[in-house]
Amino acid sequence: MSLDKRLGQRFLPYGANYLDYSDMTELAEAIGHGVLFRYQTEHESIASRLERRVAERLGAAHVLAVHNCTEALRLALVSTRPRTGDLVHIPAATFVAVAGAVLSSGLIPVLVDVDASLSLDTTLLPPDAQRVIVAHMEGTVATLPEGVPYVIEDSAQALGARFPDGRHTGTRGYAGTFSFHHNKVLTSGEGGLVTTNDPDAWQTMRCYHDHGSARVPGRYPTWTADAYYGENFVTSEGVAAIQYQQFRHLDELLAGLERQHAMAMAELPARRDLQVLPRAAGDAKISLRFRWESRELRDAAVAALTAKGIANWTLGKYLLPEHPVLTGRRSLYADGFPWHLAPQGQPLALSRDGFARTRDLLGRTLCVPLSPELPAAEQLLAVRAVRDVLEAV
């Protein structure tokens, strides 16, 4: 029997293991009201309640709930009032949704190589960079660039993580975005949040996410004389209710991750050909990250862990310089929008070595998820199972 089955674990175990129907009081409330559209309620919506709770917990001035994190990124970008074809600097190693959000907003992504922590290397940014998306990958708190007017923090994988000064990821830049996709810290299947401390940015995002309207809850939307168009990114009461239930368990989940990570640091084998990538105090420790001496050893470890039923993943899929969305520059628009707006003679990739080092780092990196919901004794059992496999590679 696999380790996952013996310990009752899922392949991606974080927030999903805290889903509990008996704890879904907000969902029961929404269903009881018989209204699942947040702006149709006669009382404060659960979505508004969620936004207020998240703002209090993370220390953000404004929070807006949306369908997913990609929409949150788009809202953050359009609220900067860009010109079509403007450049947005993004990490060369992250999920393709970041590039997709840039392109679908009519903007052009510029791939910036990453440092050893796999975070965007801010030293490569040009002095005139205006818009930068920094991804806090795998819960690792990334460095934010200084002097950039619009820094957007992609905190999809880092809910609850903190900077050294104590502030939460997603609250230091111009805007922050969060995901509640299934394999994130907390989950509602899909769902997202965007945060900002800028009241004008929040007002722009709030209008745009609801067809550009000046919405009064409980009423048909209205539009002011200077209204601009928007889209429908409005979340539902059902999704917001599940997110609220999940959010109640955030501190419990983070504590469970910290506990198992500390166990792993004490138990994992010391091998010259294996490095356990360090975690800072404020990181959301959603996984153990290993870097092997060679890709062959990494692949052998993947095969050995998989054979034992121990969840693991590699990071090569995040290498955007080799992703077809970017290499092909294809578009559904007949004129190639927005790629046809890319400035001529200006590099759309910034790297000292053509991303060779990043390819090498990703090719030798392996991640194993931690299981915050397990009691300490079972967490230790899981850590030792990983240790035994790695020792035998």
- For residue 182, the SS3 value is coil
- Taken in order of first residue, the domains within the chain and their CATH numbers are 15-249+331-344 (3.40.640.10), 250-318+356-392 (3.90.1150.10)
C-beta of residue 316 within 8 angstroms of C-beta of residue 363:
yes
Give 15's pLDDT tier (boundaries 50, 70, 90): confident
Backbone angles phi, psi at 234, to 5 degrees: -70, 130
Judge contact between 157 and 315, C-beta under 8 A: no
pLDDT of residue 5: 47
Find, among 250, 134, 257, 244, the residue nearest to 191 by Cα.
244
pTM: 0.95
Q: 225: Cβ–Cβ under 8 A, 6 or more apart, which residues?
A: none
pLDDT of 299-338, one tens digit each? 999 999 999 999 999 999 999 999 999 999 999 999 999 9
Residue 1: per-residue pLDDT: 42
Residue 197 has pLDDT above 60, yes or no: yes
> Tokens 């991750």 appear where?
257
Q: Is 355 left (phi over 0), alpha (psi -120 to 50) or beta?
A: left
pLDDT at 168: 98
**191-211 in b/e burial notation, b at 16+ Cβ within 10 A?**
bbbbbbbbeebbebbbbbbbb
Q: In the predicted model, what is the mean pLDDT of the chain?
A: 94
pLDDT tens digits, one per residue of 111-148: 999 999 999 999 999 999 999 999 999 999 999 999 99
Q: Are 188 and 241 in contact (CB under 8 A)?
A: no
